Structures are given as structure tokens and as C-alpha cells.
Structure 1
Amino acid sequence: MTAEEPGGASLADRIERLFQIVRRPGGDAYSNEEVARACREASGESFSTTYLWQLRTGRRDNPTKRHLEALAQFFQVPPAYFFEDGQSARIAEELTLLGALRDAGVREVALRAVTLSPDGLGTISDMIEAIARREREAGTRRPA
């Protein structure tokens, strides 16, 4: 794997996305130290906090298979997430959805939408798109 793959995210981008989306049950991000420790325990190999930081920032981009398997195990994604653009994109979309569902407001809307007909869902989708377009044009964004 190279630092930047044509048409795809870099390894650093993929790892960083995992850190941004996969969180502790309380919503806090995992630290490099926590993840490195878990990866050391899972792989039985050296896996320092500095090494993980280097992977996250793109300063290192050629980890061993066991290191990637340990990261995949920690973040509960298939190892293919790090290699296959199609698989990675699909998993990233699922992770983004899971991250959004952590937000109580998003979760409430999603739970209410479950009972709607296909026409009702289409109407809600159109409304969301119209509001998003208006906010993009106005330069406003939802706070993180």
C-alpha cells in the first residue's frame, strides 16, 4: 500500500477516518496510546504510540499485515478496509452512518422515518436535500 493511492484514500486517511468515527461508548475518541496498546496485545508484535501516529499522519505507509489486522480488529472492520477501494468506500459509508446515528437528533429522525411509506421517505429526503443545499449556499454548517 502506498501513501496515496490513485482514485482512493491514503492509508493515513483510512486510519484517521476510523479514529474520527469509531468512538468509545461515551462518544470520546480513542487515543493513539489506547489503540497502540490494544494492537500490541492483539498482534504480539511491537506497536508503539509513535508508530501509530506515523501511520495516522502518513509519515509511515507500509505496515505489516499483522499490524493492519490488529487495527482492523480493534476498530471492528474487515482488513480489506485498508486495501480495497470499493470495500473501503462501502465500509466508510457505514461508519459515517453509525457515527451520525450517535447524534440523538439524527437518531430520532431515523427512528421516526422507519414507519414512513416510500413516498413519505422520498418527501423527507427531498426536504433534507433542499435544506442542505440552502445551508451550503449560505455557508452555514451544523456544529460538530
Structure 2
Amino acid sequence: MTTRFSIAEKLDRLFQRIRPAGQGEYSHSAVAEAIREQQGISISHTYIWQLRTGRRDNPTIQHLTALATFFGVPVAYFLDDEQARKIDSELELLVALRDTGVTEIALRAADLSPGSRETISNMILKVWELENGMKQAD
């Protein structure tokens, strides 16, 4: 049997995984304010907290869409558990990349010339080959 996830669980995972660079998770107030300013949707920080904690569990599609837009996921994340699982897997990868500094390396490399990016790519490949060769030899 497939596990079903509540809106509260899904919203909590978004708060935990999607955050400003180098900071902790967004506050409920910051999310509500951003949704009001950027999307023109009326939503309170208390309501977001109630949804996240499961005290409210039947939001309007407008509020789900606004939350999904803020966190950069499709609204299907809240409506379809299979989509939620897929997106959660992708978010886990992004969290791992963020936590290991890979995104910082990629962002810095984006400003380099194509030749310099190729050189860095070759260096990374050589380091990978050395480390994987050492692991296989162990």
C-alpha cells in the first residue's frame, strides 16, 4: 500500500528543504508577505502555520497555488502523492548539492570562459577517477 502524505507534511518538507542561500528556513511571516507582494494573494502567516501544522487541512486551490509558486514547485505537489514523491527526490538532490557547496562551484564557474569551464570539468573528472580508482583498490 502506498503511503499518503498530508498537505501539512508536504508543506513542512518544502519549508525544510527550500530556503534562502546560507540561511535557515523561511518564516511563516516572510512567506505570507512574499505571496501578498509578489502574487497579490491574501494569506496570513497564521494560516500558513495552521496548514503546516495540520490544524487546517482544506486550503483553497488559490492558496495551494500561491504556496507552490512561492516554493517553486507545481501545484500538483500538493494534490498528487506520486508527483510529491518525485519532487521530493529532486529536492533531496538539490539539498545535497547545496549542502556540499556544489552549487557554489557551479555558479562561480558559470562566469568563466568556455575554455576555463572545460579545464575545470577535466580537473573534476581526473579527481573523480583518482578517488574512484582508490576506492576500487581498497
The TM-score normalised by the length of structure 2 is: 0.70
Which residue of structure 1 lines up, in the alignment, with residue 89 of structure 2? 93
Which of 32, 37, 41 is 1:36 aligned to?
32
Once the 2 structures are TM-superposed, how far is the Cα of residue 46 of structure 1 from its aligned partner?
A: 2.5
Match of 2:110 in 1: none
What percentage of residue pairs aligned between the two structures are identical? 50
For residue 56 of structure 2, the aligned residue among 51, 54, 60 is 60
Give 1:42 shift: 4.3
2:14 matches 1:18: yes
| AA of the residue aligned to 1:33 | S
Identify which of 33, 37, 42 aligns with 1:46: 42
Paired with 2:26 and 2:18, the residues of 1 have a C-alpha distance of 8
Of structures 1 and 2, the larger Rg is shown by 2
Over residues 89-119 of structure 1, what are the superposed CA-to-partner deviations in whole Å (9 max), with x where a residue is unaligned? 00011111111111127x49xx99x8468xx
Q: Which amino acid aligns with 2:72?
A: Q
What amino acid does structure 2 have at the position aligned with 1:26? G
- Structure 1 range deviating more: 32-41 or 16-25: 32-41
User: Take 1:20 and 1:96, find their aligned partners in 2: how far apart are those partners?
Assistant: 11
User: Which structure 2 residue ranges, 5 or more long, are not aligned?
Assistant: 107-120
Aligned length: 113
Q: TM (normalized to structure 1)?
A: 0.67
Contact 1:43 1:67 in 2 (8 A): no
- What SS does the aligned partner of 1:102 have? helix
Look up the equivalent residue of 1:48 and give its one-letter code. S
Unaligned runs of 5+ in 1: 1-5, 125-144
Contact 2:41 2:66 in 1 (8 A): no
RMSD over equivalenced CA pairs, Å = 2.8
1:26 Cα offset (Å): 1.8
Indicate conservation of the 8 Å contact 1:54/1:60, yes or no. Answer: yes
Structure with a larger share of its residues in helix: 2
Aligned-residue offset at 1:44:
3.0
The alpha-carbon deviation at position 28 of structure 1 amounts to: 2.0
